[in-house]
Amino acid sequence: MIGAMARKLGAIILAAGKGTRMRSKRPKVLHPVCGRPILDYVLAAVRGLDPAQVIVVVSDPAVREAFSAAGVTFVDQAEPRGTGHALLQARGRVTPPSLLVLPGDVPLITSSVLSEFLEQHEKERADLTVLSVVLPAPGSYGRIVRDQDGHPTRIVEARDATADELGITEVNTGIYALRNDPFLWESLAGLGTGNAQREYYLTDLVSRYATAGKRVAAVPTPEPAAVMGVNSRAELARAEGMMRERIAAELMEGGVRIVDPAHTYLEPGVKVGMDTVIHPGTHLRGGTSIGEDCEIGPDAWIDGSRVEAGSRVRYSVLEGARVREGCDIGPYAHLRPGADVGPNVRIGNFVEVKAARVRRGTKAGHLTYIGDAEIGEEVNIGAGTITCNYDGKKKHRTVIGDRAFIGSNTALVAPVEIGEDAIIGAGSTITADVPPRTLGLGRARQVIKERKD
* DSSP-H helix ranges across 90-175: 111-124, 163-166
Q: 18, 71, 34: which is closest to 285 by C-alpha?
A: 34
**Calculated CA dihedral for residues 276, 245, 35, 336, nearest 10 degrees:** -20
**Is the peptide bond between 331 and the residue preceding it cis, with omega within 30 degrees of 0?**
yes
CB neighbour class for 1 (10 Å; exposed up to 12, middle 13-18, buried from 19): middle
Catalytic site includes residue 366: yes
Instruction: Please check whether residue 26 is in contact with residue 39, taking contact to mean a CB–CB distance below 8 angstroms.
Output: no
* CA–CA gap between residue 363 and residue 76 (Å, rounded): 58
Residue 325 neighbours by CB under 8 Å, 6+ apart: 291, 308, 309, 310, 311, 342, 343, 344
186: helix, strand or coil: helix
Q: How far is CA 382 from the centre of its chain?
A: 39
**Calculated CA dihedral for residues 14, 17, 21, 27, nearest 10 degrees:** 100
Instruction: Please check whether residue 428 is in contact with residue 407, taking contact to mean a CB–CB distance below 8 angstroms.
Output: yes
For residue 236, which phi and psi values (nearest 5 degrees)? Answer: -65, -45
Which residues lie across from 424 on neighbouring strands? Answer: 406, 440
151, 263, 334, 366: which is the annotated catalytic residue?
366
For 116-139, b/e burial (b = at least 16 CB within 10 A) is bbbebbeebebbbbbbbbeeeebe
Q: Return the H-helix or E-strand segment holding 241.
A: helix 233-253
* CA–CA gap between residue 129 and residue 312 (Å, rounded): 52
Which residues lie across from 129 on neighbouring strands? Answer: 177, 217
Q: 319, 304, 315: which is closest to 350 by C-alpha?
A: 315
CB neighbour class for 192 (10 Å; exposed up to 12, middle 13-18, buried from 19): exposed
Active site residues: 366
